[in-house]
Each structure stands twice: as C-alpha cells, then as structure tokens.
Structure 1
C-alpha cells in the first residue's frame, strides 16, 4: 500500500490573549474592582464596546456558582466577579479597552487600579486600532481577541449566496480564488468488514447545507475570515459531486425553516449523503452547547439542531450517512494544554448493542472543532484553523480514505498548531450509529 504525505503547515506564531501580568493583576485586584464598579452598568458597557458578545453577557447573567442557599445579593456579587474573570480571557488589547470602559463610566478609581500595574501600558482605542497587526488570530466565541470594535459591517458581508426568502435552488456560481486541487478516485472504495455507505452516484452523490454567520448585532464580534472558509467548503464539495445550498447571515427562524424544508425536499430524496456545516459563534452553558445567529438569537445544538435529524423528523435521510459539523467555540477557555510524560492510556473498546428497530438517531457523525468548554481559533485573513485543515485533508485524501480517518488526520494537524502564547485547539467527533465506512470517491461514478 502506497504511503501519502501531507506537508505540515508551519506552527502559528500569531499572538492571542491578554498579557499575563494584566490578567493576574485583574484577578489579584478583583475585590477592589468589584467594590468600585456597578455590575449591570459595566456588563452593558463591555458589550457596547465589543469586549463581550450578547451570548457571553447572557451567560454571565445566568451564572450560578453551584452553592446551596445562595441569596440574591451573594449571587450578584459572584456574577460581578465572573464578569471580571471573563474579561481576563479577552485579547491582547482588551486591558486598554477595559480601562477606557471604566473611564467612560466615570469609575476612575477602578481605572487607576488597572493603570497602576504599569503606567505606560495604556493607549487610546484609536491608537490600539492603528496598531492591530494584520492576520492576528482571533477566537470564534463572539468577540475578537483584541476586544475592540473593528467595524460595523464585516468586509465580507457584501458577499451573498442563496436568498433565504426564495425557493430552494442549488447554488451554481463559481467561488473565488480557491487553489486546492481535489484528488480524484479511480474506483469506488468498499470495506468488506464493516460495510460501506453507497457513494458512487453521479447526480445524487450528496447535499451540502452550509450556513456561515459572519455579522452580528454587536459590531465587535464580526467573524472576519469566515467567508474564506465558506468558499473553500463550496469548492471542495462541488469537486466531490455534491449539490450545494450555502447561506450567509441567517437568523434562527430562517435557519430552522430552511433546514426542515431542505431535509424533506426532493433534493435529499435519493441523495447518498447529507452534510451540514454551521459556522458561527458558540458557547457552552450548563453543559449545553449553543449556537448564535445573525440577529443574536440562540439555538441549542443538541435539542434543536441535532435532534432534527432523528428518523421521525428526517425520513428521507434514514439509513443515510449524515455529517453535522459545528466548528465553533464550546466554552470560553483557551486550551493551554498540559505537560505529559509521553505515555498514553489505552482506549476502552465500545460495546455493540444491536437493535431490531431503526434507531431514533443513527448513521450520524457530529463533528466539533474543539472539546467541551474550550474555544476555537480563526485567522481573519485565511479562515479558521479547523475548516482550513479539514479542506486540506479532504482535497488530499478523500479519493482513497474513509471519512472518519479524514477527521482524525484533521484533528491531528489542528492539534499540532500553536499560537505565540502556546494556546492550541483539539477537535473531536461523536459517532452516533455511524457503523459503516464512508468514502467520498470524488470523480468516480458507477
């Protein structure tokens, strides 16, 4: 068997995160800062300045420490403290922005507390915006890591795909500047042990439903660079032979309506595979993953989106492979990794539990760009780490490699990337009754 090789992209060297001395100073002085500020007033002003997204603010408002018999006053105090802790997770310029926020609220004593750590550290927002370096890595959690309002509308919002208010029609226009060459198959691959999902049709190979949320009510959380991800995905799946339905900047109502319409339409009647990619800001609150839409509305990933693909809701997709991709943050924490001695534990073997009836939800792979509780990373110029590496691997390997191995290779490449401060990202996926091998077989038809 021939060996293939993907050249490793150099490790990221772009800075992310607040300076350690600033972060530690806020934590050390948190009681003093709480004493000299008003909780709701500060929360709202942080959102207005783009330090926090609406979703982040809502998470803070709903924060519950978990202690019993917590009275309302103590609960508000803990949320006030949580607000400052959250601010330490913003970007390199967030510290200066916080000082500007405090001064705008006339909380000069609190501002002086922050200024005291190094008197020369403060610069105006205008100067901070001027000094922003092109291509600086940002976090896909609802705010740039700079913590600055960059613009009211993204530089990419002028681009549109399908109109959500018009009937379903596949997107056939060319994409811009995609240089990836997708290797083609010379046969229809099969696996005699597990079985293989049929993927050799010329006209019904698959359907891609791609939703890319770039702009939000808060202008500080624009996902610059995300359009590049969308273009690459369209190019990739078009080369594989999929029918493409891409949308930009949907609200929740539009997204759910189109999802239901598409999964019950003639386009999936005979399709061999269905792929959905939802690119947006996300978070995880009370162990529940959430996705944010163009108008700030929120959907619960498990109960509102994944649950839609149950056999009772999607009869036309029953027994067909379904790939659901959620490449957004699943929490506020940067993944700093841990030191290891190099040894690894053996993975437990899954126990097969065959059922006679059709499972409620099966033949599904749910793919995440990060693990629970952690953020994802995106380059404003070239796109997100996960989607760009996914497209690289698909273009190079989809002609002879099963999809789960594609995901493993993608995760491995992303996991080897680092920011200048050592932050990383670990993707994962969940197999829900996806019991056969899936080969995309680009360019080969029976």
Structure 2
C-alpha cells in the first residue's frame, strides 16, 4: 500500500488525547491482515474486568466494509465481532468504541480556515459531497438505560462505530496536519472530553468537520468538497470519560 502521509500525525495526536482520558494506549504500525486479526483477538481474550471501556482506532486504507493491512484487505466485521458479548465476556455491558479513518492517495488540496496543503482522499466510496447552505442545531437528550445482569442483552449491544465519512463518499486528509476527522475528534476531546457525553462529543465533531474544512484543487472535480462523519451507536447507556 502507498504511504499514508499525515497518519503519523493522527496517531500521535490520538495517543496524547486518549492517554489524557485515562486509557492505556498501544500503537501498532504497518500490520498484515493476519497480524491485525491476531492483535485484536489477543485484546478480546484479555480480562477487562477492571476496565470500564474499550476503544480501537483504525487508520488505514480501506473501502466500504473492508480495511487494508500491508498485504491485502479484510472485513471490518471480522475484527469487531471478536468483542461481541458472546465472545468477550469481560466487556459485556461496557462500551466498545471503534473509530475508523480510511485513507487513499489523490493529488488534491485542503482549503480550511487557515491552510492550503496537499490532501489525500479516503476510500469509503466514490461520491463527493459538494455541500449545501443550511442551518444545524444541537442534538436532543439521549436516553439512558440501566444494565441488569439478570436480563439478556444482545451480543451486538454497547458498540459504537465512528466513521470518518458516510458510506459511499470520500473523506480527506492533510499530510501536514492529519485527517479532517481525527483533527476534529482530538480538538473536541481535548476541550470537552471530560465534560460531555460521547454522542454530544461526536455531534460536535460532525459539526467541526462539516463547517471548518473544504477541499481545494486546480481540478474542479476535486475542489470545494465537503465531508461529514458517520456515527453508528448501539450503546445502551450514556458514556462520560471521567
């Protein structure tokens, strides 16, 4: 696979950010598919009884439903299914967070609030988002549910997936600053990570990516494009990092 310029910046910022939130952070670079599966299987088989949350961040080339190692692609579902309630008992009823930033090469540029640099597209699809003039508002309150160990819960419960873009669309990355999604995620977590609930945090991330960034290129096909992250939540309780 091609070098993902800017990914080291993303990884470094994410390390500092999640470390400050109380996570034990481990970084693994340039892994084969077999090695990625092995590392996640090891993590799923650990005893997480003393942990309150698990987070996995994937920074790689990819496409819808698939992620690339150094030697090919594998289904994201293969990686996440190891943490299902019937596979990872010590994380039952606990939040399992997956943040997924895909990247691929293209010769386009970034035009955000202060910079214009070479950018790279992401591969979750082939469509571009041209943007539209509109207003947006804050999210409504979320519902909190109590876990009862005597009740069954779905094996897919308590997962959250935060994708850098919606299915079918490109996302963007600045080789000097990192990806738009990770920049926004770290900015919001650094400022509000110990104050706001996770869905409030990710709503602010969505807003920042949607309003603070726009692509620029001499090729009009790649210019003035927008991006919106995508959050899929199966959480059953509110989550605060404090």
Question: Taking structure 1 as the reference length, what is the TM-score of the superposition?
Answer: 0.44
What displacement does 1:361 show?
0.9
CA contact (8 A) 2:53 2:95 kept: yes
Q: Which residue of 2 aligns with 1:334?
A: 128
Alignment of 1:14-93 (within 5 A): none
1:226 paired residue number: 7
Q: 1:341 to 1:253 in 2, by over 3 A?
A: closer
* Residue 415 (structure 1) aligned with residue 217 (structure 2): no
Q: Larger radius of gyration, structure 1 or 2?
A: 1
Partner of 1:308: 82
Listed one character per residue, the Cα deviations across residues 341-399 of structure 1 (whole Å, up to 9, x for unaligned) are 7699xx9x99x9x9941211111111101001011100011111100110000000012
Judge conservation of contact 2:21–2:194 (CA < 8 Å) in 1.
no
User: Which one has a larger percent strand, Structure 1 or Structure 2?
Assistant: 2
**Residues 1:399 and 2:194 are matched in the alignment:** yes
1:255 alignment counterpart: 36
Aligned length: 208
Does the residue aligned with 2:176 lie in a helix, a strand or coil? coil
Q: Quote how far apart the aligned CAs of 1:227 are.
A: 0.2
Give the secondary-structure state (helix, strand or coil) at the position aligned to 2:215. Answer: coil
1:118-267 to 2 correspondences below 5 Å: 216=1, 221-266=2-47
- The structure 2 residue matched to 1:293, chosen from 62, 69, 79, is 69
2:91 alignment partner, one of 317, 329, 336: 317
Query: Secondary structure of the residue that 1:440 maps to in structure 2?
Result: coil
SS in 2 for 1:256: helix
Correspondence for 1:271: 51
Q: 1:320: Cα distance to partner?
A: 0.6
Separation in 1, partners of 2:136, 2:73: 41
- Pairing 1:369–2:164 present: yes
Q: In 2 relative to 1, CA 343–254 (structure 1 residues): closer, same or farther, beyond 3 Å?
A: closer
**Displacement, 1:334?**
2.2
User: Displacement, 1:309?
Assistant: 2.0
Residues 406-446 of structure 1 deviation map (CA, whole Å, 9 limit, x = unaligned): 100001100112112211111011111x12111112xxxxx
What residue number does 1:281 align with? 61
CA distance in 1: counterparts of 2:167 and 2:199, whole angstroms: 20
The separation in 1 between residues aligned to 2:24 and 2:135, in whole angstroms, is 44
Deviation per CA, 1:171-191: give whole Å up to 9, x if none: xxxxxxxxxxxxxxxxxxxxx
2:219 is aligned to none
Quick check: 1:435 aligned with 2:236?
Answer: yes
**Contact 1:282–1:331 (CA under 8 A) maintained in structure 2:** no
Give 1:333 deviation, angstroms.
Answer: 2.1
Q: Given the superposition, is the C-alpha separation of residues 358 and 343 from structure 1 closer, same or farther in structure 2, using an over 3 Å criterion?
A: closer
Q: TM-score, normalised by structure 2?
A: 0.79
Q: Is the 8 A contact 1:397 1:406 kept in 2?
A: yes
CA 228–359 in structure 1, closer or farther in 2 if over 3 Å, else same: same
Higher relative contact order (CA 8 A, sep 6+): 2
CA distance 1:401–1:249, change in 2 (3 Å) = same
Match of residue 424 from structure 1: 226
Equivalent-residue separation in structure 2 for 1:363 and 1:315 (angstroms): 13
Inter-partner Cα distance in structure 2 for 1:431 and 1:390: 16
User: Secondary structure in 1 aligned to 2:39?
Assistant: helix
